[in-house]
Chains A and B, each alone.
Chain A
Amino acid sequence: MLTSLHLAIRSLRWYYGRTITIVLCLTLTLWLPISVRLILEQFQSDITSRARQTPLVIGANGSRIDLALHALYFEAIPPGVTTMGEVDRVNESGYGTAIPIHSRYRTQSRNQVDGVSIVGTSPEYFEFRGLNIAAGEPLTMLGDCVVGSNVARNMQLKAGDSILSAPRNAFNLAGDYPLKLRVTGVLAPGFSADDNVVFVDTKTTWVIDGIGHGHADLTKVQDESLLLSQDPSSVTASAAVLPFTEITEENVDSFHFHGDPATFPLTAIVVQPNDEKGQALLLGKYSGAENTAVCIKPPDVVNDLLDVVFRIERLIRLSAFISAIVTILFLGLVVFLSIRLRASEIQTITRLGGSRTTVISYLATETILQLLAATFLAIVAALITQQLASESLRTLLF
């Protein structure tokens, strides 16, 4: 055995070009399925753990997957919206606590970094996700925002800085105007989607929506041309009266909302049921066809999604299996040609008195050493790939 090992090591070193080629071929063949498996396991672990922490989500009727991914990652925007009335309905039912999510806008790009989602929510969300302020203060006033740790790092933001919201449609002159958001705090890293967004109060998102606004007091304007009509009960202003695009301590009192708050839009509602019974009753409550909102269990939706992903993985595994067969055939050919090319060396060993077992053991040791080296390299490469690719894969999918 030691003789075989000695001869094999010396031979592998001498024919290093052939050795490197074979080891690289085997490494690549092993790397693909190992990497896919590790990345998907990491991905599965990430996505299911966040889904499990989010028992129920209510949103407009439509794609369950879009709704779940929006509530979990703020990326896919559901085509429809639900209303603040549903939050009140859940809270009044006593079955659980509803946390509003309103995320239809993004910030403008900054520091050569693309804009990120602006998420309007209530203070309960931070407690629900276990998010803590690492620097600065929490949200205190309309127009305030706290930024996720990745956003703060990438956009170089800190408490006291400001960032602009991006209009959804640049040609809608009557629609949303950019709102200057004042950064009051930076969140501690949570290693989740919360690190990649800007949080504001839901009222601030409604201001961006144009539902709420602030402007000069029209009962005290000096310029009469700004008024179209005036009587003791109402004032009609001209379009020349522009709403404020920044909320300050001086103008915050002028901000007001038009309409019934129960009709104000939300893109999703995260619900924390009080118990299993509450969860079941809420699901039942929203199961009727007459409902304009739907209640979903994110873990179920994510499992459906993972089924699709793992079906793709089976295809990748099949392709890796085929490439493994090709590699084995290639390796067989290399070994066969190598034996023919080294017939003289093998003949020398035999003629000196080496047994057939010695020769086979020597050639087998060579192959095993190459396989071990390739397996080691493939595992190392797969672990590196897992580190680099798991985050990219999630970004790619959502």
Chain B
Amino acid sequence: MILIEGLCFSYPDGIFNLEIPHLNIPPEQACAVIGPSGSGKTTLLNLMAGILTVRSGVIKIGDAAVSRLSETARRLFRLNQIGMIFQDFQLIEYLSVIENIVLPARLASGKLPDTAVLDKAASLLSDCGLAGYANRRVTRLSQGERQRVAICRALIMGPRVILADEPTGNLDPHTAGKVLDLLLHQTAVHKATLVMVTHDHSLLDRFQQVVPFEQFLKAAVQGSDAAC
């Protein structure tokens, strides 16, 4: 499903270089990416999502070579094929729960969400134990509830890949476990591939694949000349 070959990336300020010679994540698998802070795990998710672009190498998701798409194509690909979940939820506080969930659909169409989208959002809310929360302000939800809303938002477009950046990082262990269970379950139900960055090693046994990130991190160097 996700194939990375000869990936090479560095930021313009040359703080670090990321090199991934080869990485393959099969379809419908749950893959955990672990590694020390600053090792480039979030950067890898951003490269997969097409938010950042590689210097060289290829990132393929399904048949699409994300790394070779134009900016507009990458954006549309991200909207339609990738669901994103963030550590700090990144919900928009002035929108209600349902409005946050259907936001990707609105951004994709530029129109009011149709009944099918609203029905799907209601169904996701129900599946995530948030039935009756549709019109609540997200600022009135607990941390766990907010992350569940973020999971609903990631699933609304029926993505093939879900990229989760430490989604349980701000949650207590009990809630973190419940949120992860929900995320794994929903990913399986929707037949999506999950790539999740985490620091919590106690959760790793729930993933089919674990990618230790230290192997990809080249020593931090200054200056772009040293970059790949």
Point out residues on A near B: beta carbons under 8 Å. 1-3, 6-7, 10-11, 13-15, 344-345, 347-355, 358
Contacts and interface: CB of A to CB of B under 8 A. Distances in A.
A358 B107 CA distance: 8
Given A2-B112, A3-B110, A352 B93 contact: no
Given A2-B110, A2-B111, A358-B107, A353 B78 contact: yes
Nearest to A14: B94
Interface residues of B, number: 27
Nearest to A10: B94
Given A13-B94, A14-B93, A14-B94, A352 B79 contact: yes
Nearest to B89: A348
A352 B78 contact: yes
Contacts of A15: 94
B224 interface: no
Given A1-B110, A3-B111, 5 more contacts: A15-B94, A344-B88, A345-B93, A351-B84, A355-B72
B141 interface: no
A352 B104 contact: yes
B94 A353 contact: no
B75 interface: yes
B107 A351 contact: no
Nearest to A4: B110
Interface in B99-116: 99, 103-104, 106-108, 110-112
B217 interface: no
A13 B92 CA distance: 13
18 contacts: A1-B110, A2-B110, A2-B111, A7-B95, A13-B94, A14-B94, A344-B88, A344-B90, A348-B90, A349-B103, A350-B51, A351-B49, A352-B78, A353-B80, A353-B107, A354-B75, A358-B107, A358-B110
Contacts of B99: 10
A345 B107 contact: no
A350 B51 CA distance: 9
Contacts of B188: none
A355 B109 CA distance: 12
A358 B75 CA distance: 12
B69 interface: no
Nearest to B104: A352
Nearest to A9: B94
A6 B75 contact: no
Contact of A354 (B49, B72, B94, B107): B107
Contacts of B103: 349, 352
Interface string B122-141: 00000000000000000000
B76 interface: yes
B106 A6 contact: yes
Nearest to A11: B94
A6 B91 CA distance: 16
Contacts of B72: 355
Given A2-B111, A2-B112, A3-B110, A351 B76 contact: no
